[in-house]
Amino acid sequence: MSQRHLVSIDDLTVAEVAGLIRLAGKVKADPDSYRTALAGQSLAMIFEKSSTRTRVSFEVGMVQLGGHALFLSTRDIQLGRGEPISDTAQVLSRYVDGIMARTFAHADVVALAEHGSIPVINGLTDDLHPCQAMADYFTLSEIFGNLQGRRIAYLGDGNNMAHSLMLGAPKVGMDIAIASPEGYQVEDRFAAQARQAAEAAGTQVVLTTDPKEAVAGASAVYTDVFASMGQEEESAKRLADLAGYQVDEALMAAAASDAIFLHCLPAHRGEEVTAEVADGAQSRIFDQAENRLHAQKAIMLWSMGGVTL
């Protein structure tokens, strides 16, 4: 059997995405049934970027599955001193059973998967954040059940989160609308992948500069920080350029009557979202954060544990 990597949601079939969502639900409902599923296995967690949710959810998830997780910052391993990714991948493959990497360059995660002989999970790159998107679509399926024909709207910077949501939407039968100002729109290559998947699924990918057009009829309204990690020096310009894309109560009112608000966190209240929305009745941001744990346990069971979906 070839290695089961999760580098991008676009690498997964519709059936695999559905299977991972079902498995996440089973793991969440009955965690005790899986507490020895990865007994004796170890996950190497490579962190170039710091994290709260990614580190804690993967580390706790491995423990809850009976395995062990090793936190490896670039200060702890030779990557920080220039060891080739290919060497790191091959060495870690001799020691551990899986790698989760949270890096800047997407090519680094691709190289780990290419050169290692164990499963590699993308914990975030500058291009993509597939684990978060999987948790998001699991959250949506919990709330709405069948997602076919529903719409998710994303507002703000066309970043790694926008890319992964856009690639994931057709896999679950959802339309997606992304509203970003000129200069902040999603990358063409990911838009092309998403549109190809949408054509096969019979769904829509809408790219616009108009926030109200994006949220019209949407079941979920999603945003992310306006300045991501590594963009701090651009913060003032980004806040000014993206100010018209803040999610407030008026924008939520333009969505569907049963619409929810989602955010991958950390949230900057008063910037990309108002406190009234982030902490309001429509917000599901903490359910969403919890579901990182369950979705990632499902991903590890599938990739490292060989579970059939």
Q: Distance between CA 274 and CA 267 in Å, rounded?
A: 10
Q: Is 264 a catalytic residue?
A: yes
Tokens of 136: 């998001």
CB neighbour class for 157 (10 Å; exposed up to 12, middle 13-18, buried from 19): buried
Q: Is 224 a catalytic residue?
A: yes
Please compute, for residue 212, the number of CA atoms within 13 A of its CA located in the half-sphere on the CB side.
3
Q: Is 132 a catalytic residue?
A: yes
CB neighbour class for 214 (10 Å; exposed up to 12, middle 13-18, buried from 19): buried
C-beta separation of 201 from 176 below 8 A: no
Active-site annotation holder among 102, 150, 151, 263: 102
Q: Is 102 a catalytic residue?
A: yes
Active-site annotation holder among 41, 132, 282, 296: 132
Q: Distance between CA 155 and CA 62 in Å, rounded?
A: 33
Give the H or E element holding residue 46. strand 42-47
Q: At what angle do helices 160-168 and 130-144 cross, to 10 degrees?
A: 50
Active-site annotation holder among 246, 292, 294, 296: 292
Active-site annotation holder among 224, 246, 282, 284: 224
From residue 184, give the alpha-carbon distance in Å to each of 140, 221, 243. 26, 18, 12
Active-site annotation holder among 4, 53, 129, 151: 129
What count of other Cβ atoms lies within 10 Å of the Cβ of residue 240?
10
Q: Which residues are catalytic?
A: 102, 129, 132, 224, 264, 292
